[in-house]
Chains A and B, each alone.
Chain A
Amino acid sequence: DAGITQSPRHKVTETGTPVTLRCHQTENHRYMYWYRQDPGHGLRLIHYSYGVKDTDKGEVSDGYSVSRSKTEDFLLTLESATSSQTSVYFCAIARGFETQYFGPGTRLLVL
């Protein structure tokens, strides 16, 4: 298994509060991704990174920001959580962008 962890694994928060999810890898892979998974939508890309301090938006980036200050960590921040951001969030890593290895996921509930 690829060395990828996500924290926290579960979180309940209230509308309007900031939330930060962390993805940590031990594989030294260049590419890191954040997805959200919702019923009927599959996996949708939020943001991705192709190197330290190099990030770009995915298809559902509104309301989210990311940071990558070192190779092993990719942070996803919800500046002011909304109920529509209740979801399961997956981080993925890749040496080349095709073969992505996914983390175990974070279940976020925004009340």
Chain B
Amino acid sequence: GQQLNQSPQSMFIQEGEDVSMNCTSSSIFNTWLWYKQDPGEGPVLLIALYKAGELTSNGRLTAQFGITRKDSFLNISASIPSDVGIYFCAREGAQKLVFGQGTRLTINP
């Protein structure tokens, strides 16, 4: 299948630091999605991107759809304890989503 490579796999940061993660693919796509999964719960959609070059914010979160349409970035500014969780990128195709492996974010107070 068409894999998504998400990095880093895990991050350990101090509260207040900025966070950056990315997702790449060998194929081009029309949609990039970013989900967050809190411990013990199902993933929740954070941001959806539909155009190459698009930059979209949701509070302290900012995501960008890469200009080549093969990658996407998610940034979190001034991290807080509730940002802990697993962040997944996803792309759509044929009525389905394919998810990256996830980035596990741990924050030290």
Contacts and interface: CB of A to CB of B under 8 A. Distances in A.
Interface of A: 31, 33, 40-45, 48, 50, 58-59, 90, 92, 97-105
Nearest to B41: A104
B96 A102 contact: no
Interface of B: 1, 6, 31, 33, 40-45, 48, 88, 92, 95-102
Given A42-B100, A42-B102, A105-B42, 8 more contacts: A33-B97, A41-B101, A43-B43, A90-B42, A97-B97, A98-B33, A99-B48, A105-B40
10 contacts: A33-B97, A42-B6, A44-B99, A45-B96, A48-B96, A97-B92, A98-B33, A98-B92, A102-B44, A105-B40
B contacts with A: majority SS: strand
B77 to A, nearest CB: 24
Contact of A40 (B42, B99, B101): B101
A71 B30 CA distance: 29
B1 A43 contact: no
Contact of B45 (A44, A58, A99, A104): A99
Nearest to A91: B42
B41 A97 contact: no
B97 A100 contact: yes
Contacts of A58: 96
Nearest to A37: B37
A43 B45 CA distance: 14
Contacts of B40: 105
